[in-house]
Structure 1
Amino acid sequence: MIARRAAVTDAERRARLGVRQLLAPGARAERIEDVAEALIGLHATDPATVYLSAAARLAEPSVAEVERGLYDDLTVTRMLCMRRTMFVVPTPLAPLVHASTARAVAAKERAGSLAFVAQLGWDERRYAAVERAALAALAARGMAGAAELARDVPELGEKVLVSPGKSYAAWQTAGSRMLRVLAAEGRIRRARPRGAWTSGQFRWTVAPEPPAHDPDPLAAKAALARRYLYAFGPVTVDDLKWWTGWTLTDARKALAATGARDVDLDDGTTGYLAPDDEEPVPAPESWVALLPGLDPTSMGRRHRAFHLDPAHVPALFDRNGNIGPTVWADGRIVGAWAQRADGEVVFRLLEDVGAGARTAVAERAAELGAWLGPVRVTPAYRTPLERELAGPKR
């Protein structure tokens, strides 16, 4: 007789989410490194997301704690990797992430940059010369913005009109493309930005020397998949493919290499757990959280029905599939929040969560408003409900 495969219910998936992703009571972390480790990486396309995602999971949230890891101790690293998206990952994990995903992204970035400067009449030889000059100028300055480097290396300021004739046509500099490539390759890194922690005007500095030998790409993919299984599992092959940006073949090979255990999910599909992660995760105490747009918990899977009613998708996502700020209760997305111009954090629940949870959400909103203080946060990707909530009081 063939034994029936084990099953993981939606309720246990929500319990795992709360515990593994540091949102349930008693699960909060002390350091930014622990937060990044638990989630593999914090989404960083929107600079504010890193801080807000960390604040939701730190026992004592502070901007200083995130900046310590990013800019002082360099224990977390901002890099372009999974899905050609910016993440903040634990620095010890960066070589593995580079070998498994970022290396391929960097190769595409370099090809695109070479095609861009070809419009300026540059060949690869000139590109290489300008790149060497830029690195030398950055090393001499220690830290600099793109405009400062362009004063040292004027070629970096040469411009190309992108998408001419379109409503979104814009001039872009050679430096903006070249610096992005160097960062994607791990040769330079984003340093402390100008202005507040919500700013995306990053300065640049030369990156520390990389390890002498990158991990083997196939082994790195398997190692990253194993971490993903533990942080987000059970997940489907489609989830892994979507989250990493790999091909379906690569996702299947990586899963097989982990020795992942397949389980039945409530929706009738097959999910996968890490081979040493078979014990059920008990439901934690009741919890609520206000997570920012693009938070890794919200964006960690392609299939979200176990924690998100599909009817709520039009209000909570933009047209490109980016999620806005969300309200969570016991492992489910139950609403949205926004910050108004006067600083007040407001929310709307899209389903009945009970009086206790509603009170807890209101308390969390007041705490977040007090934590933000004079800072105003507008998500990089606006969603219908966030826009409505952030509008004038009625």
Structure 2
Amino acid sequence: MQSLDTATARRLRAGAQGIGGGVRAASAAAALDRAFAVQAQDQSAAALGLRVRATGLTAADVVHALETDRSMVRGWFMRGTLYLVPAADLRWLTGLLGPVFLKLSARRYRELGLDAAALARAEQVVTSALAAEGPLTRAELAERLAGAGLDPSGQVPFHVLRRSALLGQICHGPTRDKEPCFVLLDDWLPPGRTLDQADAAAELARRYLSAHGPAALEDFATWSGLPVTVARGAWRALIEGGEAVEYEVAGQPCLLPADRPPVAAPGEPDVRLLPAYDNYLVGYRTRALSVAASDERQVWPGGGQIRATVTADGLACATWSRKTGGRTVAVAAFQELSPEVRAGIAAEEADVMRFLGSNT
């Protein structure tokens, strides 16, 4: 097995994610297609996650892709959490991942008093309301659930809506007054391809590796949330099909797409301002290649937080935040930065402000 040094592996990962190697997409859809998935628990962070992977993107471009072109969609996918993914991939992703996270949610449903009859009633309320009234917010759907005798407070509406999405009935649609609305999936998106479990798992592994390689089986299993046996079978299929080549990275066997040269020549540092919870920082089981051990607490301060981070060629060198009501950017460097990295940060700061200003 050939080896890749950590600097080369990191540059290859940054290029695969579109946050290094000079790689920038020309549109929101192209940026997402390359990254495959962008963390979307926070909608503003998701938009910034597309910005950092593109050139000249505006906030209006992101809204247009979501609500007019409908080339991307927000929903519960990997690990059962919210992501932006290409809309064309929603149905096979839901078919693969939905049953996994529905099974894992069964105990929580019982804790909330949602037995089979209550869940069926809630499903009927949600789909009927959306069919009759069109896009509705979570609060509006909670009112409809209350009218059917279901608890509109606490976590019940969230779990009911998430369940309907995991069943492939509804999805996120337009935003109204800064509040996301839900819609019937079949009303919002055209039919898409469906795959059986083995083919879907292999496709997810293929797309993951393209956007994250070099990566290990453990990385893919952790990122996807698939059962380890399913993840392992999909990973093996890439090797057996000649689609991936194995390399050793930091003592661990990793795969790289067979058509990707295992070379990433250094040059001027490619500096990016990643948003909080960016997929580059949660897409692997360990943080060893992206964040130095001495700096981990700066990026992961605890409480589940992942701070907005400055990377240079894929290595975190600072965190950043918006100040003065979002009109400026403040950077907290981990150590002294080179003039080239400082210049890259300045250019990125200006682009963040340009992007955010396009939303006003």
Does the Cα contact within 8 Å between 1:258 and 1:275 map onto a contact in 2?
no
Q: Where in structure 2 are the equivalents of 1:143-158 lying within 5 Å?
A: 143-152=135-144, 154-155=146-147, 158=150
The one-letter amino acid paired with 1:293 is A
2:283 pairs with 1:303: no
Does the Cα contact within 8 Å between 2:58 and 2:358 map onto a contact in 1?
no
Does the Cα contact within 8 Å between 1:24 and 1:284 map onto a contact in 2?
no
2:219 & 2:324 partners in 1: Cα distance? Answer: 37
* Structure having the higher Rg: 1
1:306 & 1:150 partners in 2: Cα distance? Answer: 43
Distance change >3 Å, CA 228–CA 283, structure 1 → 2: farther
Does the Cα contact within 8 Å between 2:59 and 2:356 map onto a contact in 1?
no
- Deviant stretches of 4+, over 4 Å: 150-153, 209-213
Cα-to-partner distance string for 1:261-299 (whole Å, 9 max, x where unaligned): 22121x222212233335434445431111101111122
2:95 & 2:267 partners in 1: Cα distance? Answer: 36
1:87 & 1:78 partners in 2: Cα distance? Answer: 6
Residue 135 of structure 1 corresponds to which residue in structure 2? 127
Residue 324 of structure 1 corresponds to which residue in structure 2? 307
- Per the TM alignment, residue 341 of structure 1 is displaced from its structure 2 partner at its CA by 3.5
1:99 & 1:325 partners in 2: Cα distance? Answer: 32
1:156 & 1:338 partners in 2: Cα distance? Answer: 44
Cα-to-partner distance string for 1:165-208 (whole Å, 9 max, x where unaligned): xxxxxx41643332221122221112223434xxxx32211112
2:287 & 2:113 partners in 1: Cα distance? Answer: 41
TM-score by length of 1: 0.81
Q: Which one is further off, 366-375 or 97-106?
A: 366-375
Residue 222 of structure 1 corresponds to which residue in structure 2? 202
Residue 205 of structure 1 corresponds to which residue in structure 2? 183
Residue 178 of structure 1 corresponds to which residue in structure 2? 160
2:1 pairs with 1:15: no
Distance change >3 Å, CA 351–CA 138, structure 1 → 2: same
TM-score by length of 2: 0.88
- Per the TM alignment, residue 103 of structure 1 is displaced from its structure 2 partner at its CA by 3.1
Higher RCO (C-alpha 8 Å, min separation 6): 2
Instruction: Choose the corresponding residue for 1:369, options 331, 341, 353.
Output: 353
2:87 & 2:217 partners in 1: Cα distance? Answer: 27
- Per the TM alignment, residue 362 of structure 1 is displaced from its structure 2 partner at its CA by 2.7
Q: Which one is further off, 75-84 or 203-212?
A: 203-212
The one-letter amino acid paired with 1:331 is G
1:16 & 1:74 partners in 2: Cα distance? Answer: 30
Does the Cα contact within 8 Å between 1:36 and 1:42 map onto a contact in 2?
yes
What is the RMSD of the two structures over their aligned residues, measured on CA atoms?
Answer: 2.6
Distance change >3 Å, CA 62–CA 375, structure 1 → 2: closer
Distance change >3 Å, CA 335–CA 142, structure 1 → 2: same
**5+ residue gaps, structure 1:** 161-170, 377-394
The one-letter amino acid paired with 2:334 is L
Residue 174 of structure 2 corresponds to which residue in structure 1? 192
Residue 82 of structure 1 corresponds to which residue in structure 2? 78
**5+ residue gaps, structure 2:** none
Residue 226 of structure 2 corresponds to which residue in structure 1? 246
Distance change >3 Å, CA 126–CA 373, structure 1 → 2: closer
Q: Where in structure 2 are the equivalents of 1:1-394 lying within 5 Å?
A: 5-24=1-20, 26-109=22-105, 112-113=108-109, 115-118=111-114, 124-152=116-144, 154-155=146-147, 158-159=150-151, 171-172=153-154, 174-196=156-178, 201-208=179-186, 211=191, 214-259=194-239, 260-265=244-249, 267-283=250-266, 285-342=268-325, 343-373=327-357
Of Structure 1 and Structure 2, the greater helix share is in: 2
Does the Cα contact within 8 Å between 1:261 and 1:272 map onto a contact in 2?
yes
Does the Cα contact within 8 Å between 2:28 and 2:50 map onto a contact in 1?
yes
The one-letter amino acid paired with 1:360 is G
- Per the TM alignment, residue 18 of structure 1 is displaced from its structure 2 partner at its CA by 3.3
